[in-house]
A and B are shown apart, each in its own frame.
Chain A
Amino acid sequence: MLDMLKSVFSNLSRKPVTRMYPFEERKPFDINRGHLENNIDECIFCGMCQRVCPSNCIKVDRKTSVWEYDPFECVLCGVCVEKCPKKCLKLDVHYRSCTDKKYNIHLEKHDDSEKAGA
């Protein structure tokens, strides 16, 4: 009947296992798949990320140099990051904050920067 007493006593003298979340956050692990970011200046719009994505959340338009991404469809598998030839995609360790509205991430490369690059 008193089998749990040992854990009761050890828990009495220990600090809580849980954290007061918004005030105290755990440091994320180094390889945490938090959210996807694209360094658009490096992007060549090859469309590889769009082709390998299992959830079809990335749309690339080569003609207009537009990279569009739906963070709510993304499953954070990280395949696009592995396949990106220019390594401009990266997974940040921090998660996106909560929201009550859905949005798309729309990134464009302007002609000026292309000329500057060329």
Chain B
Amino acid sequence: MSDKSTIPFGPQHPVLPEPIHLKLVVEDEKVVEAYPAFGFVHRGLETLAQKKDFNQMVYVVERVCGICSCMHGQDYCEAIEELMGIEVPVRAEYLRTIWAELHRIHSHLLWLGLFADAFGFENLFMQTWKIREKIMDILEATSGNRVIISVNIVGGVRKDINSEQAKWILKELDEVERQLKDINDVVMNNYTVKQRTVGIGVLTKEEAYELGATGPMAKGSGVDLDLRTTGYAAYKYLDFEPIVEKAGDSYARNLVRMREIFQSIDLIRQALGKIPDGEINVPVKGNPPAGEVISRLEQSRGEVVYYIKSNGTKFLDRLRIRTPTFANIPALLKILPGSQLQDVPVLILTIDPCISCTER
């Protein structure tokens, strides 16, 4: 008992892209307790809702997170549309879905690269980011920006995808899929990947459910929760099943994300095949009526919740964002005790942490 010691992990650490601090109590090389500390990148974006009008806030919430920015804007717009009773054109719903799925692909590829980097597989890191560039090019060609694409507005979307672009996207996706299949064999079967992930950080189905884990963290433990099945945006017109793995270890979460990339490619193909012609947005008149609304959707990391309280003016009373990483922190603190110190970076990255989301 006397050889317990406490070591700090982060906020600056070679494997962490963003600052999170963990106080780890270790016994030799084994972690026995973990205490998190947050607040290094808090920017007070929620309070800005009282200073910017509800149309300007779309561009603020997109900057909550760089990787799932499109989906933050989409969720915010869907919340305001629900409050104001606006019917979004079907084409806009499809376009939102296409951009959201492109974001899911690039988010998972980015994560896979960082994850490979965390256990020292530099080659896999380079290859995944090389593939990701094709997705970034699609985003840039269709929206005008690489990362924060600013396509969602209250009432629809701002940009359209024409038939030539759709053909080009399908061609690029074929190439992405071909390159991904090579990577897929490595992720599934490579000795190094398996040694560092199989059986590491096991979260049972009951634990995942009780701790409120979400996204691939819950799906990797066999919890069949995917908000896309509730049919927001164009998902109600598309055919898909949530991807679930049973093992609950880091390898299972890895597989969920890898399979979700292929699923997203399939969803984009379906959406581009079924997309109807028509308007891409409807004019919005007046301010949101006084009232409250909650809107949820499935981001690449899990479920994001927007709570909006409006007072009838153009400024909102309260905006509250519950991000998926925040929901996955309790599950992380559950799997850390009992792990070896060298597995801590892998376990932290296995929840796909987005700290700037969590602290807003």
Contact = CB atoms under 8 A, between A and B. Distances in A.
B141 interface: yes
Interface string B155-190: 000110000000000000000000000100110011
B133 A17 contact: yes
B189 A3 contact: yes
Nearest to A53: B56
A76 B150 CA distance: 9
B158 A82 contact: yes
A77 interface: yes
A1 B191 contact: yes
Interface in A44-85: 52-55, 75-79, 82
Contacts of B182: 6-7
Contact of B60 (A6, A54, A76, A91): A54
Nearest to B58: A54
Contacts, number: 54
A31 B141 contact: yes
Contacts of B63: 75
B145 A4 contact: no
Contact of A4 (B57, B59, B124, B143): B124
A23 interface: no
Contact of A3 (B52, B55, B185): B185
A1 B144 CA distance: 41
Contacts of B50: none
A85 to B, nearest CB: 16
B315 to A, nearest CB: 13
Contact of B145 (A3, A17, A33, A79): A33
B141 A77 contact: no
A39 interface: no
Nearest to A10: B182
Contacts of A77: 59, 150
Contact of B56 (A29, A31, A52, A78): A52
Nearest to B127: A7
Contacts of B143: 31
A104 interface: no
Interface in B39-61: 52, 55-60
Contacts of B28: none
Interface residues of A, number: 22
Nearest to A29: B141
A75 to B, nearest CB: 6
Given A4-B186, A77-B59, A78-B144, A54 B130 contact: no
Interface string B73-112: 0000000000000000000000000000000000000000
Q: How large is the interface on B (under 10, 10 to 19, 20 to 34, 35 or more residues)?
A: 20 to 34
Contacts of A76: 145
A53 B185 CA distance: 47
A54 B52 contact: yes
Contacts of B185: 3
Nearest to A34: B144
A77 B63 CA distance: 12
Interface string A1-38: 10110111000000001000000000001011100000
Contacts of A7: 123, 127, 182
A7 B182 CA distance: 8
A4 B184 CA distance: 11
Contacts of B29: none
Contact of A54 (B59, B123, B142): B59
B55 A17 contact: no
A53 B59 CA distance: 10
Nearest to A6: B182
A34 to B, nearest CB: 9
Contacts of A78: 144, 150, 158
Interface of A: 1, 3-4, 6-8, 17, 29, 31-33, 52-55, 75-79, 82, 91
21 contacts: A1-B190, A3-B189, A4-B124, A6-B182, A8-B123, A29-B140, A31-B141, A31-B142, A31-B143, A32-B145, A52-B56, A54-B56, A54-B57, A54-B58, A54-B59, A54-B60, A55-B59, A75-B59, A76-B145, A77-B59, A78-B144
Given A31-B144, A52-B55, A75-B59, 5 more contacts: A3-B190, A4-B127, A8-B123, A17-B130, A91-B144
User: Closest 8 interchain pairs by CB?
Assistant: A54-B56, A54-B59, A33-B144, A3-B186, A31-B144, A29-B141, A77-B150, A3-B190
